[in-house]
Amino acid sequence: MIIVTGGAGFIGSNLVHGLNARGITDILVVDDLTDGRKCLNLADADIRDYADKDDFLRRIQAGEDFGPVEAVFHEGACSSTTEWDGRYVMAVNYEYSKALLAWCTARKVPLLYASSASVYGMGPVFREAREHERPLNMYAYSKFLFDCHLRPLLAGIGSQVVGLRYFNVYGPREQHKGSMASVAYHFHKQLRESGRVRLFEGSDGYGPGEQRRDFIHVDDLVAVKLWLFDHPGVSGIFNLGTGRAQSFNDVAHAAIDWHGSGSIEYIPFPDTLKGRYQSFTEADLAALRATGCTHAFMPVEEGVPRYLEWLAANATES
């Protein structure tokens, strides 16, 4: 069996589909379906069982076994960067992850979990080292603190543990995320509704729409996670982006080109984001490449049209 927490969410459901593509269906999905719309992400997937996230936590805290478990992919979290209820975020993201780590290491079950590039804050260096980490919100802090919890333990753990710091992920099955969905998704909606993409004016020395992020297609993310699953000797905390920053203008033009027409409107940069906005992110992939992972990542010029084709084919979900 493979356990996927957050398995009905954006990245988790894409991982389930990636496992299905390998012929793997013995999957336990763990999630919180208070927002039942997430079930649509799994409507065309094959899994063995489902467990509510709180019930699952109680079961692992009680030391329950689930039979032979090949690996746990831990994607479940409160991913909202605007959530400031610290007790809630720490319980769901930090304490939950600690409990799962203890359960996995006691049974020598590989654990591959989602960290976040948000731990780097404003950067400008995006390398997996403490001196470059300064989270700016509760979500980022919870991810940062679990990475810190893991670091001194890694050398003494006899099974695989991998933390992956996701950069800006976009792609299928994120429609339930609302305002937290990717800019590619929002640009697609804006072009359909008004024929215009709205981007921020210049900030932090960047021109209008020229703020740059490391945008990674979820298919690339899943491919790397499955590569790591195939290489259980690899452990550690690694960046997962493309290694190449591209501008919001690049994403907008890729969406406009796919639609065949459209324009860009630059809107004032919000005062509420000044000093709290990542105007530049770019994954340093040296550590990941050192593991032997040679995966080639899609630029937005390839990944965005691929995503919009999926949205067009799944119009009821876009």
Q: Which of 96, 113, 120, 139 is catalytic?
A: 139
Task: Give me 97's structure tokens.
Answer: 């992850």
Helices 183-194 and 300-313, interaxial angle, to 10°?
Answer: 60
Q: What's the DSSP call for residue 203?
A: B
Residue 216's alpha-carbon distances to 94, 153, 181, 239, 275, in angstroms, are 25, 29, 13, 11, 24
| Three-class DSSP category at 56 | helix
Q: Which of 50, 98, 177, 266 is catalytic?
A: 177
Residue 113's alpha-carbon distances to 116, 165, 224, 246, in angstroms, are 10, 9, 13, 26
Gap between the Cα atoms of 80 and 203, Å rounded:
23
Q: Known catalytic residue: 177?
A: yes
Amino acid at 184: A
Q: What's the DSSP call for residue 23?
A: T
Q: β-strands 212-213, 161-166: how paired? A: unpaired
Q: Known catalytic residue: 141?
A: no
The Cβ-side half-sphere exposure at 266, using a 13 Å CA radius, reads 12
Name 310's Cβ contacts closer than 8 Å, sequence gap at least 6: 171, 172
Residue 60's alpha-carbon distances to 73, 120, 229, 288, in angstroms, are 15, 31, 22, 30
CB 28 within 8 A of CB 73: no
Task: Give me 16's structure tokens.
Answer: 């389930």
Cis peptide before 135 (omega within 30 of 0): no
Q: β-strands 71-74, 263-267: how paired? A: unpaired
Positions marked active-site: 139, 177
